């Protein structure tokens, strides 16, 4: 059983599991195909990934283009992160807007990012272990990304800029305005 929390951007949702706890600890279902299909959208995840990062590591804002677009269902199993989804669908009423959510090992929340969005996260704790499901296989030749610090998007990452740790690649991404690799709101990227 899950509780689905809608955000300001349709399709981007926060998921809270029903947690059963007692003096021994806790139990919850971290994934149910049936619940997800009925309450969020029908989907078939094909790949699970995990990363471990230290405080200030920022990964993003990433996406895959065209027919390689990915939905992601993300969660934290250790530590705390700020997770962000940015609408990069031209002609969308929420184009350039973002939703952020704090995911922690204690709140057990998950965040669903549909196709057509850039995704990134920053680690707020000493370390964090981050897991995510993808509904399309990774295609390195179809990577796209945006600048994490694009002033027009204006994400408050919750970490001082001088403490942000980026990969060499993540230091070089274009702003949303300069990007030529965006999605179109009028195309269904889930259509086969």
Catalytic residue among 98, 108, 119, 132: 132
Catalytic-residue membership of 173: no
Residue pair 65/142 in contact by the 8 Å Cβ criterion: yes
Catalytic-residue membership of 62: yes
Give the number of other CB atoms < 10 A from CB of residue 128: 24
Cα(11)–Cα(20) distance, integer angstroms:
27
Q: What's the token pair of residue 32?
A: 């149910």
- Cα separation values, 143 from 23, 47, 66, 115, Å: 46, 16, 10, 13
Catalytic residue among 62, 108, 119, 173: 62
- Active site positions, annotated: 62, 132
């Amino acid at each position: 059983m899950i509780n689905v929390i809608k955000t300001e951007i349709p399709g981007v949702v926060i998921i809270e599991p029903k947690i059963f706890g007692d003096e021994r600890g806790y139990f919850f279902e971290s994934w149910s195909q049936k619940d997800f299909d009925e309450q969020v959208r029908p989907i078939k995840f094909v790949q699970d990934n995990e990363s471990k990062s230290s405080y200030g590591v920022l990964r993003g804002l990433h996406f895959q283009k065209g027919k390689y677009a990915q939905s992601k269902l993300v969660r934290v199993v250790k530590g705390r992160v700020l997770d962000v989804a940015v609408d990069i669908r031209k002609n969308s009423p929420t184009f350039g807007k973002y939703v952020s959510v704090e995911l922690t090992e204690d709140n057990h929340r998950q965040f669903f990012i549909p196709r057509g969005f850039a995704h990134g996260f920053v680690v707020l704790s000493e370390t964090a272990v981050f897991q995510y499901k993808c509904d399309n296989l990774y295609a390195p030749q179809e990577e796209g990304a945006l600048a994490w610090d694009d002033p027009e998007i204006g994400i408050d990452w919750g970490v001082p800029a001088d403490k942000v740790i980026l990969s060499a690649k993540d230091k070089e991404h274009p702003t949303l305005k300069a990007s030529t690799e965006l999605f179109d709101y009028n195309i269904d990227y889930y259509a086969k």
